[in-house]
């Protein structure tokens, strides 16, 4: 198959994918990575269309433009990869690379050489794919994820990372062969020329688009699951989810060799904060406690909002004294995090107990609730252990 036919095929596939991805993935979710990938597809489509002018009078103008559009497409895909980790971006960051690729082509001899500015283009596109690979690897293997946790989204992101690695290595090989052998050599034309490159891009385009579409759908499902499982205000588990997970985890934790602590916390005078300062202030207090609990106790702890201003915390510690110290640290962090308009400092009462081996969750919760009642009856704003 000749290169023009391949490029037309690539353009048609890219055009169809632009429409399908925009309508099927971006519009329903408005996910940033879906939007960036739609833009990347459009730019790759325009780049391929520009290369169709090679061998015509328009080659001098459109060949460098094709290089610039291809680099812009790769950078848009890079932004999409960055959005998976909610990294910042600016439109002006998109300009230098494509502009440099365009100028390198224009200042060479684009009217007579289809590889005008070729080395600059290959270096830029390789760097862009390398940056995409880095972002995808960081998104798939980030250190904040709990051990032994691998979601469908993780698998899809890792598949995208593998595709990006292949493209990075291929374009790095193209750049090296361009320098070592030249674009007219047999090695370059057979291995890294326009025909094998376009074939690879067609395959990768379909594969990556399918993975991105599946990822968009899966992240929608994950978001719905998070909303069902976690309280949106505090970021802690909803009551039933906490009870379900705690009931499963408790027998394992009590046999693990460390002290297993269940604490119940209640925000003091929370109703007064809502009544006197408004619900927005109350929401700030709830958010502050949720953030403090997650920060101080860590990812291994199970933290849930049981209802209103009452919370349950299940975690392990080296000793009861150390556990009590952690809870005091949580209180201090909570009070430091939130500031109310009238200057008052919110307080919290906590009752903590050590769970016994083979003790059912209902029994531990009942004992922790009694300890919490003692903390409130003794004057609030304290940690009481029973």
- pLDDT at residue 290 in the model: 95
Superfamily (CATH H level) for 237-385: Reverse transcriptase/Diguanylate cyclase domain (3.30.70.270)
- pLDDT at residue 8 in the model: 86
Domain extents for the chain? 3-228, 237-385
Mean pLDDT by runs of 10 across the 386 residues of the chain is: 80 84 78 86 92 92 95 94 82 90 94 93 96 90 57 80 92 94 91 87 81 74 81 93 94 90 95 89 94 92 94 95 94 89 89 93 95 93 90
The three-point CA angle 175-176-180 to 5° equals 120
- pLDDT at residue 122 in the model: 96
Start-end of H helices in 181-234: 186-187, 194-229
Residues 353 and 372: their CA atoms lie apart, in Å, by: 10
pTM, full prediction: 0.64
Residue 239 CB-density burial (10 A; 0-12 exposed, 13-18 middle, 19+ buried): middle
Q: Looking at the DSSP assignment, which residues form a beta bridge with residue 230?
A: 237
Cβ–Cβ under 8 Å, residues 72 and 125: no
Strand 259-267, strand 383-385: pairing = unpaired
**Phi, psi for residue 202 in degrees, rounded to 5:** -60, -45
* Other C-beta atoms lying within 10 Å of the C-beta of residue 290: 20
Give which of 377, 367, 231, 206 is closest to 308, Cα–Cα: 231
Look up residue 86 and give its two tokens: 């909610």
Cβ–Cβ under 8 Å, residues 363 and 350: no
Residues 97 and 74: their CA atoms lie apart, in Å, by: 10
Residues 6 and 223: their CA atoms lie apart, in Å, by: 39
**Phi, psi for residue 74 in degrees, rounded to 5:** -65, -40
CATH code for the part of the protein at 3-228: 1.20.1070
- pLDDT at residue 149 in the model: 57
- pLDDT at residue 197 in the model: 87
- pLDDT at residue 147 in the model: 47
Q: Does the fold of domain 237-385 match that of domain 3-228? A: no
């Amino acid at each position: 198959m000749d290169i023009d036919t391949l490029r037309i095929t690539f353009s048609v596939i890219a055009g169809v994918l632009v429409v399908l991805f925009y309508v099927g993935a971006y519009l329903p979710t408005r996910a940033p990575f879906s939007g960036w990938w739609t833009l990347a597809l459009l730019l790759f489509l325009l780049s391929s269309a520009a290369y169709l002018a090679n061998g015509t009078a328009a080659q001098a103008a459109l060949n460098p433009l094709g290089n610039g559009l291809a680099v812009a497409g790769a950078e848009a895909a890079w932004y999409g990869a960055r959005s998976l980790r909610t990294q910042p971006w600016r439109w002006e960051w998109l300009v230098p690379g494509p502009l440099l690729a365009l100028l390198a082509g224009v200042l060479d001899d684009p009217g007579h050489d289809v590889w005008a500015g070729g080395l600059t283009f290959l270096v830029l596109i390789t760097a862009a794919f390398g940056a995409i690979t880095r972002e995808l690897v960081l998104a798939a293997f980030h250190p904040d994820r709990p051990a032994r946790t691998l979601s469908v989204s993780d698998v899809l992101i890792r598949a995208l990372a593998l595709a990006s690695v292949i493209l990075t290595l291929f374009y790095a090989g193209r750049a090296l062969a361009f320098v070592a052998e030249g674009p007219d050599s047999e090695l370059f034309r057979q291995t890294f020329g326009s025909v094998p490159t376009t074939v690879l891009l067609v395959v990768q385009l379909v594969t990556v688009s399918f993975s991105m579409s599946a990822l968009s759908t899966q992240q929608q499902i994950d978001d719905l699951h998070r909303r069902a499982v976690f309280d949106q205000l505090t970021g802690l588990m909803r009551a039933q989810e906490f009870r379900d997970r705690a009931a499963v985890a408790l027998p394992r934790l009590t046999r693990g060799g460390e002290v297993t602590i269940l604490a119940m916390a209640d925000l003091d005078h929370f109703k007064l904060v809502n009544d006197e300062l408004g619900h927005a202030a109350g929401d700030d207090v709830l958010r502050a406690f949720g953030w403090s609990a997650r920060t101080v106790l860590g990812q291994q702890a199970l933290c849930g909002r049981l209802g209103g201003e009452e919370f349950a915390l299940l975690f392990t510690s080296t000793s009861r004294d150390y556990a009590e110290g952690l809870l005091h640290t949580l209180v201090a962090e909570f009070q430091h995090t939130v500031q109310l308009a009238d200057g008052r400092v919110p307080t919290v009462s906590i009752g903590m107990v050590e769970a016994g081996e083979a003790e059912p969750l209902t029994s531990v919760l009942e004992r922790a609730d009694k300890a919490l009642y003692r903390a409130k009856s003794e004057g609030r704003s304290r940690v009481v252990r029973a």
